[in-house]
Chain A
Amino acid sequence: MARYLLLRLADAVPTVFLVLLLVFIAMRILPGDPAIAALGDMATTEQLQLFRERMGLNDPLWLQFINFVKGVLTLDFGTSMMSNQSVLGLILYNLPYTIELTIVAMLIGILLGVPLGVIAATNRNKAPDSGVRAFSLIGYAIPDFYLGALLLITFSLNLGWFPINGGGEGFADRMYHVFLPALTLAFVKAAFIGRLTRTSLLEVLSKDYVRTARAKGAKENRVIYGHGLRNALLPITTGLGLSTLATLSGSVAIEMVFNRPGIGKLLISAIAERDYAVIQGGIVVFAMFVVLINLMMDLVYIVVDPRIRMK
């Protein structure tokens, strides 16, 4: 177990390095001059020169890359040009809101999705199954920012049950503010998790040991939850990893809809203001999130499925 953990952690190091390399390539080598992108077409040559000097864009590429990696490792992402605050400070302020939104959305999504999947699988090809199927078809099709806008119009604007924007202060108020955005993201999650639970549960329920359990007279609930759902957990866990990442990418648009603080809103605002250092910091944070969530999922597998440890 400890050895597997160490191996998996060691494997994450080159991944992080590769991610940073790709982010670096994207920021420096893709078409477009960062200086012009940041300052606009109207900037004078002197202004561009000053910007390049300040951002270290005149250094050779390898030195820029080393400085970039050094900056990321020491959590020094530079300073925002618009607000003159440190990018790290901006990230640290916004990060909790995004994490909170993602976690609450995932929790609601699981609480809705898993029971939906169980209902669909245990009523295969009957009305509840078709209902869950229709729900998931709509869940896959509806853009989350549209659903969010509809919920905002209905429950915040017209009914006045929920706040229109902001992140809230203190635990209770924050949960109150996060509920509607999280519910929006959870709707799509529930469709995905429900479908996944249905498929994996049906697969497990066709196994020999389930037939044996039924033959020896185990109660249906015990067959479904003790034998079925328990063994369907591994594919569901795999799906949860993907789902968490999808929730994270969905949070960008949702933060815009509900005008909530968060990394997504920080990044999108930075793009509109051409705030180069903040864009770079935001992208690195998202990239690190992806690496981290993948790593965490791998660790969850070995808890859920001890067979993986043997390999």
Chain B
Amino acid sequence: MTSITETSPHLLAPEPSRLQALKSIILGRPGTIAAVVVIALLCIVAVFAPMLAPYDPLTQSMLKINRTPSWENWLGTDQFGRDVLSRMIYGSRNSLIFGLISPFCAAVIGTTLGVIAGYFGGIVDRLLSRVIDLLLAFPELLLAIMIAAVLGGGFWNVIFVITIAFVPGFARVARAQTLAVKQEPYVEAAISVGVRTPVIIFRHIIPNIMAPIVVLMMLWVASAIRLEASLSFLGIGTQPPNPSWGNIIKDGLNNIFGSPWPIIGAGAAITLVVLSFNLVGDAVRDALDPSTSQN
């Protein structure tokens, strides 16, 4: 054990300082500590949903329609007699899955496109940049709605839609960063001694453009959760009867005279989780990419 702790600072030279910075930023802000706790709780709830949920989220019961909150049903029941809390607990899985997978996929695709455009330049760059600029003119939500309008809802379609909505942003950052890194002496040196292009890209370019990409990925986890909720609310995301925080609100609105509790509960959950991911995203940005900090 001791030998590892002694050598690790040398093996991971730049890493500890960034992690240290992140740690001190998080610990220095009470709000961010609370946000980390909320996210940890969300992960626990999502993973252990079957054990934590008091009822099955899909079981309907005509006998217990539109109940107000009680010890039996903490958040009451909806118009089909389903337990709202159980639906919210299962719905957390959707938020977490879409929130994590889509920004990651978008980061991979967007970075690939951006690096290709930035590194090779020429006609490829001009074509890609034109399309990226055009797509960037669309707000992510509008782009997502427009694509989902064509594709319809469902798990893979939602992943696809949110991913596509985020790709242009990653591509623009990756392209700009690649253009900057390409000018660095070590890349010019590598080119002049004849290092093969893929090696230059994977060894010299990509590691050096990762910081802003990771920051963007963190900041967009919150956006992805919001997007999924919005799409599900509009009926073009997670399809009923599967619960998602967005479609719980949609169902709640159709039953607004019956019980307001599904709306209040699911909406509060979305707000709290998005707020938490935003706070943590800000902390990650301040640690990894201090130049863009807004404070």
Contacts and interface: CB of A to CB of B under 8 A. Distances in A.
Contacts of A15: 134
Given A143-B229, A157-B256, A287-B138, 11 more contacts: A141-B272, A143-B226, A143-B233, A143-B270, A150-B264, A152-B256, A245-B137, A249-B142, A272-B235, A283-B149, A286-B145
B199 interface: no
Interface in B104-149: 130-131, 134-135, 137-139, 141-142, 145-149
B92 interface: no
Given A143-B226, A199-B294, A248 B267 contact: no
A221 to B, nearest CB: 27
B222 interface: yes
Given A153-B263, A268-B234, A246 B150 contact: no
Interface stretch (A68-76, A93-101, A208-216, A252-260): A252-260
A27 B145 CA distance: 13
Interface residues of B, number: 43
A291 interface: yes
B34 interface: no
B158 interface: no
Given A142-B271, A153-B256, A279-B150, A249 B139 contact: yes
Interface of B: 130-131, 134-135, 137-139, 141-142, 145-152, 222, 226, 229-230, 233-236, 249, 252-253, 256-257, 260, 263-264, 266-267, 270-272, 274-275, 278-279, 294
Interface in A238-283: 242, 245-246, 248-250, 252-253, 256-257, 267-268, 270-272, 279, 282-283
Contacts of A291: 137
A5 interface: no
B224 to A, nearest CB: 13
Interface residues of A, number: 49
Interface in A134-163: 137-138, 140-143, 145-147, 149-150, 152-153, 157
Contacts of B148: 271
A140 B142 contact: no
B177 to A, nearest CB: 22
A286 B146 contact: yes
A249 B263 contact: no
A32 B160 CA distance: 14
A22 interface: yes
Interface of A: 15, 18-19, 22-23, 26-27, 30-32, 37, 137-138, 140-143, 145-147, 149-150, 152-153, 157, 199, 242, 245-246, 248-250, 252-253, 256-257, 267-268, 270-272, 279, 282-283, 286-287, 290-291, 294
Contact of B233 (A248, A256, A283): A256
Q: Nearest 7 CB-CB pairs, A to B?
A: A146-B267, A249-B142, A141-B275, A249-B141, A141-B274, A249-B139, A142-B271
Contacts of A287: 138, 146
22 contacts: A19-B134, A32-B152, A138-B275, A141-B222, A141-B271, A141-B278, A143-B271, A145-B230, A146-B271, A150-B263, A152-B256, A157-B260, A242-B139, A245-B139, A249-B139, A268-B236, A271-B236, A279-B149, A282-B149, A283-B146, A283-B149, A290-B138
Nearest to A31: B151
A27 B236 CA distance: 16
B139 A30 contact: no
A289 to B, nearest CB: 9
Nearest to A25: B150
B275 A252 contact: no
Nearest to B143: A249
A250 B144 CA distance: 12
A279 B151 CA distance: 11
A290 B147 contact: no
Nearest to B146: A283
A267 to B, nearest CB: 6
Nearest to A30: B150
A149 B260 CA distance: 9
Given A138-B275, A253-B230, A246 B264 contact: no
Contacts of A253: 230, 233-234
Contacts of A272: 235
Nearest to B250: A256
A149 B248 CA distance: 12
Contacts of A145: 230, 233, 249
Given A249-B142, A286-B146, A149 B137 contact: no
B272 to A, nearest CB: 8
Most buried by B among A19, A37, A268: A268
A15 B135 CA distance: 11
A271 B294 contact: no
Given A150-B263, A153-B263, A253-B230, A22 B134 contact: yes
* Highest count of chain A CB atoms <10 Å: which of B139, B236, B275: B139
A245 B271 contact: no
A143 B256 contact: no
